[in-house]
Structure 1
């Protein structure tokens, strides 16, 4: 059970006085002190000149353009990789590149990124310049092979580098040593977009653009950038919020590319009312389904579709894959939870870090499964599936306060050879180990983690923004909250708490709890708890509750009304 805690609210800056008092409180609790931190105009984006390696990267692309070299983009098989690939491919073609194609590894055949095998394929296809997107910073062997074959390599990535950087001709990564770019949180698609901005600026200086080769409006790529940024769950700092906001504005104004419009349609969303949360919970899962179960080429084809009819065909396939992915995931989750319940019953308490493996689990779904179990048990979770012969592929998800990639690095240092390869971020990582060393790895991981995982870190907390007066339970205020975003990772959507009297309660589809609640002033408001515990609810004996909730707008038959999205309920009477 999660504990409810109110977010501390520091002194509110005078610069926030222009906002509604509740919005002031919300912003202050998220570290906002000045209006510059709330900038959402494209002109306020950080300059590309601050990214280390950008000059060398642009020089490579200038040479490739002048000589019309064969450029091969090597992407990744998640939504960030797909949007990065589509962004760079579309952008380069708009700038006059004529020989550009992409490769995305199938996770079941080649693994992650620019591996040796992927480098061999790119070279065989006649690549003269390989550009990585959302990968490459750890592709030492693949890049070494490409260079040995006389192919130049430009790395664009955002993942944390290891102790050794690859021998690429240029590297653009805000997290590489010596890079002064203030936003270390750029997603892979953000790095690709910045590369295009820098290249266009140099071409402008060189007088390249003419009536025959007009200067492209790179803002047309921001729908892709916004989707990839939210999908990769990177922190929404000021710079990322600008990118996401600008992308949402384009979509809401009817300027989404066909592929994104088709994903919006198949997810039963409305483009004019799309939110950042829709990117994360509706569009990204359908896009990711291709990389998890099949080949991300399908997702990229959707994003690159030239017209809506073709995009809808791809989106329908992605939707079907997503349904299949959910079915696989649900089966795996039931098996994992049953195992953990047996373990907990036998040993009184769970390990600090949960490591799970089953031979028939699907490699493409283990990351989602790790995230679901992490949410349920509030423990760092690593889930493994069968990889290549004698290997296990693992996906890790962490809790706030434990940097999972750094933890794996420490395990690798203390126990050389135990982890074959790894990479990732603070909250998510991937790794490969030998199958026969699974139990050894599990013990080593928990041993190293124990010095970091305090009881406080292992206590699940749901932070709220306090009580909300009943006059704020209105459509205008809910709209004001939506406009105050975009909300996302490290800039969380507001959660409120309050006491209510239950007037009606019933289950929808045997899993969603629908409530009619009476507020303190006697007014009634609807609430819904998706995927509620149907063993505990409905409960006719409960008349009064304390509830944590988010404010939502329910559109039904063109009528709007306020709806509370339940996050937690405490029975108090």
Structure 2
């Protein structure tokens, strides 16, 4: 394995050398919220009444016109989602919501990562037509599906697009497009996940149907908030910014999960992951539930994940959750082997005496398409380079999944390549931090050179030094279970509203490797003037030989529950043998 290791700078917010000035968990929370730009704790996650208004979503009225007509005339609505957790939760929410609103012919179709590729395609439209669909409702895709939508119209199908991805230069000619990121949309939260867009659409649809007298004794009006568990899961899984609007959606969904009012599939996924629904947090959704749900789309098809979220039978949900858990274990095994191969590619670069380029494009002949994005993320984290991992699509083309670093807009970089080197890329899409693309046969080397140049345009030859944010040194008096408990439920924490991290010097009393592959580092450490505390550093087992004496840890507070006993534990996010501030 390469010896190159990216230097990480610890950045305290605010930039203070003194310990945090707080005596109680409540005082600490007020300071932490202030560090995140909130002076009023009540603004962290207010109630549903504080959500951004429905009326500001551009394209909503046209979407309602078409869907109301479809519901009233019993037309067959086919939901076409994406093969990730956002697409799966959004598809399940759309199907559940439309049925609850009175639609009698509703089903779903999820593209295969391997045979269809991302989003609504002409092939998928043909399949929808063969099933008898009359209206296609896209979820988490469609904003770039020009050809597919034209094919749908040729076959007599209507298309309503709901998406949150960035549009291209022109919008497809769908019957309606609901996307907060489309031109002319004044919706204040540009960070809605695909499932969030669906929730807003359903809420508006319910209001329109209510105003028309649709509901009555034989058709009760549904409480759509009861499915905010799906919105919370998809929002966290898609790692969108937890702005005020998204914090409300996630917080309300978590409250329902903790109260035992989640759908059977969410509860089953928490169970197989060993997480207690009554204590569920955004971290549980993002790091334990979402990977199991995503495993279906990565290795087989996401239909299994959607069905798990649609069933109301707890036994059936648990059966499918166990299948998803098994797929996730297989995914981890594939990922490990692919990561080792990727490291070997980088080793060869270093052995040749070359420095790493500012952007990395890696390819393995036997790599799995469904895991390439995770491998790209792991390599990105280790070397702090925007990384695209390519796998063979089986027909000479290569499918790539990329992950970026702060300061590099990945979709824009790929677009830069496409504009200046037409003919390399068949299609692409994505966000600032993650994107996917398909290369035409024989184009990898040309794309690699062009991509490196695109990265240089945005970042220069050397990417900026990565930073890890810290809220400062936590006083020993607050290194307690009470503080850990308060922080656990004080969120929801997530992207752009980060879970509190602290940093300080600790004396290493004991260090050992744990886990089946011994890749995790288990520590027993003591702060200055405090008692020894257990700590766990996931994935840092390779550092065992150098961890001794005094180290600086960047950590989060956690509670380790074992055999009915709770103990304070530090989750180590960064470990430095010498002070690097």
Contact map agreement 1:4 1:464 (CA 8 A) in 2: no
1:10 offset after TM fit, Å? 9.0
Which secondary structure state, in structure 1, belongs to the residue aligned with residue 574 of structure 2? strand
Correspondence for 1:366 among 369, 372, 381: 372
1:19 offset after TM fit, Å? 8.3
Correspondence for 2:10 among 5, 19, 24: 5
- In structure 2, the partner of 1:490 is 496
- In structure 2, the partner of 1:518 is 526
Correspondence for 2:204 among 198, 205, 208: 198
- In structure 1, the partner of 2:19 is none
Contact map agreement 2:30 2:41 (CA 8 A) in 1: no
Correspondence for 1:531 among 534, 539, 551: 539
Correspondence for 1:401 among 404, 407, 428: 407
Contact map agreement 1:45 1:242 (CA 8 A) in 2: yes
Which secondary structure state, in structure 2, belongs to the residue aligned with residue 420 of structure 1? strand
1:187 aligns with 2:193: yes
1:277 aligns with 2:283: yes
Which secondary structure state, in structure 2, belongs to the residue aligned with residue 28 of structure 1? helix
Cα gap change, 1:7 to 1:539, in 2 (>3 Å): closer
Contact map agreement 2:258 2:278 (CA 8 A) in 1: yes
Deviation sequence 1:226-245 (CA, Å, 0-9, x none): 00001111111111111111
- In structure 1, the partner of 2:38 is 32
Where do residues 36-55 of structure 1 align in structure 2 (5 Å cutoff)? Answer: 37-55=43-61
Contact map agreement 1:379 1:458 (CA 8 A) in 2: no
1:115 offset after TM fit, Å? 0.2
Contact map agreement 1:513 1:538 (CA 8 A) in 2: no
- In structure 2, the partner of 1:262 is 268
Where do residues 460-479 of structure 1 align in structure 2 (5 Å cutoff)? Answer: 460-479=466-485
Where do residues 53-92 of structure 1 align in structure 2 (5 Å cutoff)? Answer: 53-92=59-98
- In structure 1, the partner of 2:343 is 337
1:36 offset after TM fit, Å? 6.3
Cα gap change, 1:141 to 1:304, in 2 (>3 Å): same
CA distance in 1, matches of 2:530, 2:214: 68
Correspondence for 2:122 among 80, 105, 116: 116
Contact map agreement 1:81 1:189 (CA 8 A) in 2: yes
1:48 offset after TM fit, Å? 1.1
Q: Which runs of 4+ in 1 moved over 3 A?
A: 18-21, 33-37, 454-458
1:262 offset after TM fit, Å? 0.7
Cα gap change, 1:35 to 1:507, in 2 (>3 Å): closer
1:493 offset after TM fit, Å? 1.0
Correspondence for 1:357 among 356, 363, 371: 363
CA distance in 1, matches of 2:55, 2:266: 30
- In structure 2, the partner of 1:237 is 243
CA distance in 1, matches of 2:534, 2:380: 30
Contact map agreement 1:505 1:538 (CA 8 A) in 2: no
CA distance in 1, matches of 2:25, 2:485: 14
Mark the runs of 5 or more structure 2 residues left unpaired by the alignment.
Answer: 1-5, 17-21
Query: Which deviates more, 510-519 or 79-88?
Result: 510-519
CA distance in 2, matches of 1:182, 1:226: 19
CA distance in 1, matches of 2:545, 2:342: 27
Where do residues 84-233 of structure 1 align in structure 2 (5 Å cutoff)? Answer: 84-233=90-239
Contact map agreement 1:252 1:274 (CA 8 A) in 2: yes
Query: Which deviates more, 500-509 or 32-41?
Result: 32-41
1:484 offset after TM fit, Å? 2.1
CA distance in 2, matches of 1:389, 1:505: 49
CA distance in 1, matches of 2:171, 2:292: 34
Query: Which deviates more, 480-489 or 354-363?
Result: 480-489
Contact map agreement 2:12 2:469 (CA 8 A) in 1: yes
1:504 offset after TM fit, Å? 2.3
CA distance in 2, matches of 1:43, 1:10: 36
Which secondary structure state, in structure 2, belongs to the residue aligned with residue 72 of structure 1? strand
TM-score (norm 1): 0.96
CA distance in 2, matches of 1:487, 1:330: 28
Contact map agreement 2:30 2:39 (CA 8 A) in 1: no
- In structure 2, the partner of 1:307 is 313
CA distance in 2, matches of 1:569, 1:262: 35
CA distance in 2, matches of 1:128, 1:569: 57
1:444 offset after TM fit, Å? 0.9
1:353 offset after TM fit, Å? 0.4
How many positions carry a matched residue from both structures?
567
Contact map agreement 1:40 1:246 (CA 8 A) in 2: no
Contact map agreement 2:504 2:554 (CA 8 A) in 1: yes
1:253 aligns with 2:234: no
- In structure 1, the partner of 2:3 is none
CA distance in 2, matches of 1:171, 1:322: 34
CA distance in 1, matches of 2:29, 2:321: 37
1:5 offset after TM fit, Å? 2.4
Which secondary structure state, in structure 1, belongs to the residue aligned with residue 443 of structure 2? helix
Deviation sequence 1:310-366 (CA, Å, 0-9, x none): 001111111111111111111000010011022123234101000011221111110
Deviation sequence 1:251-277 (CA, Å, 0-9, x none): 101111111111011101110111101
Cα gap change, 1:390 to 1:498, in 2 (>3 Å): same
CA distance in 2, matches of 1:228, 1:50: 22
Mark the runs of 5 or more structure 1 residues left unpaired by the alignment.
Answer: none
